[in-house]
Chain A
Amino acid sequence: MSDTSEKTGNTGNAGKTGSTGNPGKTGSTGKIEKTGRTGKAGKTERLSVFKTYKLYVGGKFPRSESGRVYEVTDSQGKWLANAPLASRKDARDAVVAARKAFGAWSGATAYNRGQILYRIAEMLEGRREQFAREVADAEGLSGSEAAAVVDATIDRWVWYAGWTDKIAQVVGGGNPVAGPFFNLSTPEPTGVVAVLAPQESSFLGLVSVVAPVIATGNTAVVVASERRPLPALSLGEVLATSDLPGGVVNVLSGRTAEIAAPLAAHQDVNAIDLAGADEELAKELEIAAADNLKRVLRPRPVDYSAVPGIERMTAFLETKTVWHPTGSLGASGSSY
């Protein structure tokens, strides 16, 4: 597939820019090649097929219920696509989908979740060129820079795939209480997490905030970068074909402030990652989030190219501690 798409340039944004041509900007991975067609009338240029970018909610690809779209442009201001302008209702629908998916996803074995996250990396690997083009367009990167971002993003899925069955051993464990009790602390997912994806890093940043949330068994409602939503919307297509159950990740595009407000106030959302909010919005959302005591991860500068650490996982984990009496096998001491 990737070979074909590179030759024909008929997937993703390259196709769109291709119709008007802008090879200087899109760089090598966004290389525009026209597929010649020889007809009776002579050589004509093939008209590329645009993709309708849609939301990803509950494993399906709906348009916004509002019927609204907004124009997404590249870093030079050139039109790339019309993205869905998600509404409050879309946000609430996404929460319902995420809640519905939570039981099975949090109840899946950690090994199973790890395999699925790894599968996402596999699926992305096969679509590297498409995402490199979308990232290059979105972030104004050269082809090689964008390719490096995509590679790092794929590797990030692999990194978190390996964490699913290890985090409990790192942050949980037995506690030596002073009494005849077995006492075990285990991390458990917080629940439905609203994630405001970073505004600048449209793909690596996005995956860096989504992967840790779902690796541990949470489900997510993700608000894509407002001006650079296309890589996030395309990621939905990858997630849909990676054995990830529908509803585990839901992707919305639109005005961050408009979608985030109902999510921060939603009584069935358990936590919110404010990575994509500016200072003023973050404060408003944190105040709204207090109504049902959501766990709040405040925005702070992050170098998404660095090794992430476990903080984004532990931010959305609860610790459950279970006690049980150990009893006694008699006062005689050693059982040997």
Chain B
Amino acid sequence: MTTDNGGKRPAAFEYAPAPESRAIVDIAPSYGLFIDGEFTEGAQGRVFKTVSPSTEEVLSEVTQADETDVDRAVAAARRAFGTWSALPGSERAKYLFRIARIIQERSRELAVLETLDNGKPIRETRDVDLPLVAAHFFYYAGWADKLSYAGFGPDPRPLGVAGQVIPWNFPLLMLAWKIAPALATGNTVVLKPAETTPLSALFFADVCRQAGLPKGVVNIVTGDGRTGAALVAHPDVDKVAFTGSTAVGKEIARTVAGTRKKLTLELGGKGANIVFDDAPIDQAVEGIVNGIFFNQGQVCCAGSRLLVQESIHDELLDALKRRLSTLRLGDPLDKNTDIGAINSAEQLARITDLADRGEAEGAERWTVPCELPSSGYWFAPTLFTNVTQAHTIARDEIFGPVLSVLTFRTPEEAVAKANNTPYGLSAGVWTEKGSRILAVANKLRAGVVWSNTFNKFDPTSPFGGYKESGFGREGGRHGLEAYLDV
């Protein structure tokens, strides 16, 4: 161990590079749209490039789907729906079990691919994203022939064609959260991955092919927001599921108003991570770091507001800064990397702008002293102290590695501050006192409360928000409801 040398990175350890090989992934120079069981060209022939955020290297060219393409994909899903929904649940289950197993077999390949396209560390894609993806398919596979036990009536029916639009922060995991329950309940899907991270969804098409999934059950259309808007607005879509920003979520809610389309939304957050004076400090520090710097803070349920009891503020902040100084930022494929690249230039600009506003509004900025790579999109872990509830950085979702630190004196004040946001997705509570955990958890208006832990996910555990963080739940028995006619 090194002693504190004024917040500078301890120089005692030099790590040798330990990159994961990218030879395991074979990325084609271009991809079409996966419609009706095969890759086809877009009607307009328009393509766009997807780049590796850590190097800005072009990885591949993908197709910009337009309304005609979306219409073709929805038609394919509609044709497939009759047969797919009529299959015995036990047969649908086996397709999903196959998919889960193939993902496990190909998990290293998919982890490297995801790290390349998204910029997040291989440690995360390998140890978090991919295991959860496989587990999610495995979990919902088992539901397919047990729906009559799920509490939605003796014979709950699927809705039809699901239009699903997912974000770039957990590309394949969000795909799993969308596709696994939809298929288990007998729906067919048209899924649009995010513009900046389309590759793992296109690889998933190949997983479907290997699993022998009937054509048209899963269709993947790539493109930007226009493609997503066309999918959401398509009259033959019965169900819309969206994960992304609250602004887009509201627009989608307006689009589907007055239609039969069932809607679930998983949107933004400004999660409060509350640390009481009796909390185990070292564990809390690990939880705070995991809460806001996991996936570079590009997590809707991130603990982006740290609420510290006033009496331990200085001690906790010292420990936190010391810990942050040991984080390793750099090549996402390096197995020792903690902090990878920001997903896009656009997102980096947004984070930079909001952090600058924090400084301009009077909060005190502290940034981990570390070198940033010369190419790619990077932002060093940053925290702000002396933050008030009126500050933009305490109100707006930054979606980056930026932590806003506020203080409180009483549990009541902590709860009031935690709930003082239009969002309500996640929260954290750190204290050794059991009754206080239960009391505070009970008062927090948030869909997920992590007590003495943070950012834990599981396919059996329902996830989703209160208030403007959206509605509906993904995961667990609750996650079935979004895809059933109930």
- B135 pairs with A324, CB closer than 8 A: no
Closest beta carbon of chain B to A227's beta carbon, Å: 24
Could you tell me the distance between the alpha carbons of A268 and B457 in the complex, rounded to whole angstroms? 31
Given contacts A178-B135, A319-B464, contact A286 B151 (CB under 8 A): no
Number of A residues whose C-beta is below 8 Å from B? 34
- B258 pairs with A179, CB closer than 8 A: no
Q: What mask results when residues 165 to 193 of chain A are scored 1 for a CB within 8 Å of chain B, else 0?
A: 00000110001111101010100001000
Query: Does any Cβ of A come within 8 Å of B246's Cβ?
Result: yes
Query: Does any Cβ of A come within 8 Å of B450's Cβ?
Result: yes
Closest beta carbon of chain B to A109's beta carbon, Å: 12
Could you tell me the distance between the alpha carbons of A164 and B258 in the complex, rounded to whole angstroms? 31
Number of B residues whose C-beta is below 8 Å from A? 41
- A293 pairs with B447, CB closer than 8 A: no
Chain A interface, DSSP helix/strand/loop, else mixed? mixed
- The B-contacting residues of A in range 300-324, CB under 8 angstroms, are 311, 314, 318-324
Q: How many A-B residue pairs lie within 8 Å, measured between CB atoms?
A: 102
Given contacts A177-B458, A185-B478, contact A321 B437 (CB under 8 A): no
Could you tell me the distance between the alpha carbons of A35 and B444 in the complex, rounded to whole angstroms? 59
- B254 pairs with A319, CB closer than 8 A: no
Q: Determine the chain B residues whose CB is within 8 A of the CB of A290 once the complex forms.
A: 250-251, 253-254, 257
Q: What mask results when residues 244 to 270 of chain B are scored 1 for a CB within 8 Å of chain A, else 0?
A: 001001110110011000000101000
Q: What mask results when residues 462 to 486 of chain B are scored 1 for a CB within 8 Å of chain A, else 0?
A: 1110111011010010100100001
- A319 pairs with B450, CB closer than 8 A: no
Closest to A282 in B: B258
- B151 pairs with A325, CB closer than 8 A: no
- A319 pairs with B151, CB closer than 8 A: no
Q: Determine the chain A residues whose CB is within 8 A of the CB of B473 once the complex forms.
A: 319
- The A-contacting residues of B in range 370-423, CB under 8 angstroms, are 422
- B461 pairs with A183, CB closer than 8 A: yes
Closest beta carbon of chain B to A100's beta carbon, Å: 16
Query: Does any Cβ of A come within 8 Å of B456's Cβ?
Result: yes
Closest to B249 in A: A293
Closest to A292 in B: B468
Q: Determine the chain B residues whose CB is within 8 A of the CB of A177 once the complex forms.
A: 456, 458, 460-461
Q: Determine the chain B residues whose CB is within 8 A of the CB of A270 once the complex forms.
A: 467
B452 partner, pick from A179, A190, A292, A324, beta carbons under 8 A: A324
A181 partner, pick from B258, B267, B422, B456, beta carbons under 8 A: B456
Could you tell me the distance between the alpha carbons of A287 and B257 in the complex, rounded to whole angstroms? 6
Query: Does any Cβ of B come within 8 Å of A295's Cβ?
Result: yes
Could you tell me the distance between the alpha carbons of A177 and B463 in the complex, rounded to whole angstroms? 13
Given contacts A293-B467, A324-B452, A325-B453, contact A171 B151 (CB under 8 A): yes
Query: Does any Cβ of B come within 8 Å of A65's Cβ?
Result: no
Q: Determine the chain A residues whose CB is within 8 A of the CB of B471 once the complex forms.
A: 293, 295
Could you tell me the distance between the alpha carbons of A311 and B262 in the complex, rounded to whole angstroms? 14
- The A-contacting residues of B in range 338-387, CB under 8 angstroms, are none
- A175 pairs with B257, CB closer than 8 A: no
- A323 pairs with B476, CB closer than 8 A: no
Could you tell me the distance between the alpha carbons of A289 and B258 in the complex, rounded to whole angstroms? 12
A286 partner, pick from B257, B456, B463, beta carbons under 8 A: B257
- A291 pairs with B258, CB closer than 8 A: no
B441 partner, pick from A176, A183, A322, beta carbons under 8 A: A322
Residues of A in contact with B (beta carbons under 8 Å apart): 170-171, 175-179, 181, 183, 185, 190, 270, 279, 282-283, 286-287, 289-293, 295-296, 311, 314, 318-325
Residues of B in contact with A (beta carbons under 8 Å apart): 135, 151, 246, 249-251, 253-254, 257-258, 265, 267, 422, 437, 441, 444, 446-453, 456, 458, 460-464, 466-468, 470-471, 473, 476, 478, 481, 486
Q: List 30 A-B contacts (CB under 8 A).
A: A171-B151, A175-B476, A178-B458, A181-B453, A185-B462, A185-B478, A270-B467, A283-B257, A283-B258, A287-B258, A289-B253, A289-B257, A290-B257, A291-B250, A292-B467, A292-B468, A293-B250, A293-B265, A296-B257, A318-B447, A318-B466, A321-B449, A321-B462, A322-B448, A323-B449, A323-B450, A323-B453, A323-B461, A324-B451, A324-B453
